[in-house]
């Protein structure tokens, strides 16, 4: 879920902030109990715990804890089933991330990353198996996750629209959201939560694609926003996300909760909205038509007029008279922010990725 389903903390009251921390600590404790300390670094699936608890008649019990990260917080709360479900999904998300890394890794960095990802899969095979067992005990069909991952890989080769390529993620989150109603014994909420999950799941997939757009193009990896015209990628993503955001909020307004109403409302409205408005991608503008278009370029141009650094082809009106490659996305996507041809930056990035990869490997070996 890439951290997108989190509240806008500035708009939470002190009580709501405290409740959010308590719930987060409850999931953290469950992750430690079931899968070890290192599993606690990812708590994206907290939304599933909150949705489950929001439908329960009674609030989850408090438990006393000690935490090095939050030394002044001495209690956590979580419904046992809700926390187990969220923790198991967290581990399965880790599996999916590793599989995605193996599929996408290429080039020099891929040479180092792919074997490490495979090793981490092998190292954590027992934890993944345990997560499968827990999900099955909680009544969730784990095969849904595997089938949707396989479907995602296939669709990325043949899909022609954003709705098509985002559908596996949308269906996966829909199944997870709907299962919270089953855990809470609220079958009347299954349909509305499934609909909410579909809209939010599609949003999460495209949000991640938008934030990774420039990096994916440079590394020659698949990105759904490049299915048609790269120059329209940002505008396509914005239109798609706004439409899904509006529908998701309309659906959530019809969802009746017994607790966490304001917190969940913040997550699905203000929390998601802050991600719609702020991309993690570098501050680069797309090419504008007429700036530097030799004809036949899908970009429709190469140097945005608002970069403030003149044209990328150093003032020449003819791309053929310059060393700047207008038809090469690596140039027109980055010309105003950095020199993509710089071998120094490429080498530094490869070294940093290699060091980080081996540090993670060492952590898992001795965990």
- pLDDT score for 319: 39
Tokens of 112: 């180092």
Query: Mean of the pLDDT values across residues 20-45?
Result: 87
Neighbours of 143 (CB within 10 A): 10
Query: Mean of the pLDDT values across residues 275-283?
Result: 61
| From 106-110, 135-139, 339-343, the region with the lowest mean pLDDT | 339-343
CB 189 within 8 A of CB 255: yes
Q: Is the dihedral of CA 171, 177, 181, 187 positive or negative?
A: negative
Query: Mean of the pLDDT values across residues 7-14?
Result: 90
- pLDDT score for 365: 55
Most confident of 50-54, 102-106, 233-237: 50-54
Query: Mean of the pLDDT values across residues 316-328?
Result: 40
- pLDDT score for 115: 86
As a whole-number percent, the residues of the chain with pLDDT over 90 amount to: 38
Query: Mean of the pLDDT values across residues 18-29?
Result: 90
| From 95-109, 170-184, 187-201, 238-252, the region with the lowest mean pLDDT | 95-109
364 confidence band (pLDDT: 50, 70, 90): low
Tokens of 131: 């997560």
Residue 259 clears pLDDT 70, i.e. is over it: yes
* Mean of per-residue pLDDT scores for the chain: 78
Indicate the DSSP class of residue 39: G
> Quick one: CATH architecture of 9-277?
Orthogonal Bundle (1.10)
Domain boundary assignment for the chain: 9-277
- pLDDT score for 44: 84
Which residues are paired to 76 by β-bridges? 63
Torsions phi, psi for 260 (to 5 deg) = 60, 20
Q: What angle do CA 10, 45, 106 make, to 5 degrees?
A: 105
As a whole-number percent, the residues of the chain with pLDDT over 70 amount to: 73
Torsions phi, psi for 280 (to 5 deg) = -80, -10
230 confidence band (pLDDT: 50, 70, 90): low
Report pTM.
Answer: 0.76
Three-state secondary structure along 131-157? HHHHHHHCCCCCHHHHHHHHHHHHHHH
> In this predicted model, which residue has the larger pLDDT, 246 or 283?
246
Strands (E) across 74-172 are located at 75-77
36 confidence band (pLDDT: 50, 70, 90): confident
Most confident of 1-5, 19-23, 83-87, 346-350: 83-87
CB 234 within 8 A of CB 275: no
Q: How far is CA 200 from the centre of its chain?
A: 11
Residue 334 clears pLDDT 70, i.e. is over it: no
| From 96-110, 135-149, 303-317, 345-359, the region with the lowest mean pLDDT | 303-317
Q: How far is CA 316 from the centre of its chain?
A: 41
CB 42 within 8 A of CB 24: no
Cα dist. 266→63, 142, 298 in Å? 26, 30, 40
Query: Mean of the pLDDT values across residues 124-144?
Result: 94
232 confidence band (pLDDT: 50, 70, 90): confident
Residue 292 clears pLDDT 80, i.e. is over it: no
- pLDDT score for 343: 46
**pLDDT digit string (tens) for 198-207?**
999 999 999 9
- pLDDT score for 279: 55
Torsions phi, psi for 96 (to 5 deg) = -65, -40
| From 96-100, 226-230, 295-299, the region with the lowest mean pLDDT | 295-299
Cα–Cα distance measured from residue 225 to residue 234, given in angstroms and rounded to the nearest whole number: 8
Name every residue whose Cβ is closer than 8 Å to that of residue 296 and which is 6 or more positions away in sequence: 327
């Amino acid at each position: 879920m890439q951290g997108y389903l989190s509240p806008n903390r500035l708009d939470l009251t002190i009580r709501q902030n405290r409740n959010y921390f308590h719930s987060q600590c409850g999931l953290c404790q469950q992750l430690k109990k079931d899968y070890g300390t290192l599993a606690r670094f990812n708590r994206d699936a907290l939304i599933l715990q909150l949705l489950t608890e929001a439908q329960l008649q009674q609030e989850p019990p408090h438990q006393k804890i000690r935490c090095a990260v939050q030394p002044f917080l001495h209690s956590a709360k979580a419904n046992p089933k809700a926390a187990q479900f969220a923790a198991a999904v967290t581990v399965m998300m880790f599996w999916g991330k590793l599989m995605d890394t193996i599929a996408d890794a290429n080039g020099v960095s891929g040479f180092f990353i792919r074997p490490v990802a495979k090793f981490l899969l092998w190292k954590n095979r027992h934890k993944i198996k345990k997560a499968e067992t827990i999900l099955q005990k909680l009544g969730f069909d784990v095969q849904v996750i595997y089938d949707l991952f396989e479907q995602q890989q296939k669709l990325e080769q043949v899909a022609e629209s954003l709705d098509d390529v985002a559908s596996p993620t949308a269906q996966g989150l829909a199944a997870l959201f709907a299962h919270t109603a089953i855990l809470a014994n609220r079958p009347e909420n299954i349909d509305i939560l499934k609909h909410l999950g579909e809209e939010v799941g599609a949003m999460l997939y495209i949000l991640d694609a938008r934030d990774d757009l420039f990096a994916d193009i440079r590394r020659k990896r698949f990105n759904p926003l490049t299915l048609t015209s790269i120059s329209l990628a940002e505008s396509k993503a914005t239109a798609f996300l706004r439409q899904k955001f509006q529908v998701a909020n309309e659906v959530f307004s019809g969802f009746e909760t017994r607790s966490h109403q304001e917190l969940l409302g913040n997550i699905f409205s203000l929390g998601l909205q802050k991600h719609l408005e702020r991309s993690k991608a570098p501050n680069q503008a797309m090419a504008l038509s007429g700036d530097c278009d030799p004809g036949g370029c899908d970009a429709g141009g190469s140097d945005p007029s608002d970069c403030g650094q003149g044209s990328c082809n150093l003032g020449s009106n003819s791309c053929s008279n310059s060393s700047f490659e207008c038809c090469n996305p690596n140039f027109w996507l980055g010309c105003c922010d950095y020199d993509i041809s710089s071998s120094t930056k490429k080498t530094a990035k490869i070294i940093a990725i290699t060091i980080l990869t081996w540090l993670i490997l060492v952590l898992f070996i001795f965990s």
